[in-house]
Amino acid sequence: MKKRILIIEDEIKIARVLKLEIEYEGYEVLVEHDGREGLEVALNNNIDLVLLDVMLPGLSGLEVLRRIRKANSHLPIILLTARGSTFDKITGLDYGANDYITKPFEIEEVLARVRSSLRFSSLLQQSKQMDDFQLSIGDLVVNQETREVKREDIDITLTPKEFDLLVYLLKNQNKVVTREAIILTVWGYEYEGETNVVDVYIRHLRKKIEEGFETSIIQTVRGVGYTMRVK
């Protein structure tokens, strides 16, 4: 799927050249010449990067930048600034611009900055997705997507039920969870066995993730259940 780039530039000739060159590189390009209209497009469409002129009618580029950042902290934004406008560059970076290009510019520089910003944005998204899948406590790391479990970078093999139990404890780390709550979540409503199944699986889990390591992670709360915390 093509990356979609929004150009907000009031100088018609510059906007046209940018649009043609960027489209030639394989991107989809939208163009607006007014700050207020450009802001509306940026906020209400799936945009992958914004090329934003500082001097705009309707709403200044810096104000457009500020409002976009208030709604979206991750969208890459490259400012187009006039030569010598140090104030605009500094203010733009303070407002959250990812980069700036000084006019007049070479189109090769623009394309290079666009590629760089999109590449960095993609890496950030990948990192965020990894964080969403990953759970950890101390030196124990669990990837929910791949179902990998590591402690001190040592691979630990768990059964499906042991893994589900570990994930539940990790999601509730530093909280005390009862045996009943564990059974309800990990084994489900239809489970009709004994509640000591939890104790049995906790023992299995402790053997795999604690034996041979210096610190204990799973703590017993007498008369209540279990908690996961690093002492």
Q: What's residue 119's pLDDT?
A: 87
Instruction: Say yes or no to pLDDT of 231 above 80.
Output: no
Tokens coding 94: 């303070």
User: Which structural domain, as residue segments, surrounds residue 54?
Assistant: 4-131
68 and 171 share one domain:
no
Instruction: Say yes or no to pLDDT of 99 above 70.
Output: yes
38 and 106 share one domain:
yes
Assign residue 26 the CATH number of its domain.
Answer: 3.40.50.2300
Q: What's residue 127's pLDDT?
A: 55
Question: Which of 72, 101, 131 is the last residue before a domain boundary?
Answer: 131
Q: What's residue 94's pLDDT?
A: 87
- H or E element: which one contains 3? none
18 and 57 share one domain:
yes
- H or E element: which one contains 31? strand 28-32
Cα–Cα dist 153/62, whole Å: 46
Backbone torsions φ then ψ of 149, nearest 5 degrees: -130, 130
Question: Which of 66, 97, 131 is the last residue before a domain boundary?
Answer: 131
21 and 87 share one domain:
yes
Instruction: Say yes or no to pLDDT of 153 above 90.
Output: no
83 and 118 share one domain:
yes
77 and 159 share one domain:
no
Cα–Cα dist 210/8, whole Å: 57
Tokens coding 160: 């499906």
53 and 111 share one domain:
yes
146 and 176 share one domain:
yes
15 and 75 share one domain:
yes
Contact between 113 and 106 (Cβ < 8 Å): no
Strand partners, 141: 136, 150
Instruction: Say yes or no to pLDDT of 35 above 90.
Output: yes
**What is the residue whose two structure tokens read 């998204």?**
125
85 and 52 share one domain:
yes
Express each pLDDT in 180-210 by its tens digit. 899 888 888 777 777 689 999 999 999 999 9
Q: What is the dihedral of CA 36, 40, 46, 52, to 10 degrees?
A: 10
126 and 17 share one domain:
yes
Sheet of strand 176-178, all strands in order from the earlier edge strand to the far edge:
176-178, 225-228, 218-221
Number of domains in the chain: 2
Q: 139 in helix, strand or coil?
A: coil
17 and 36 share one domain:
yes
* pLDDT average, residue stretch 27-50: 96
Helix axes 35-44, 61-71, angle to 10 degrees: 20
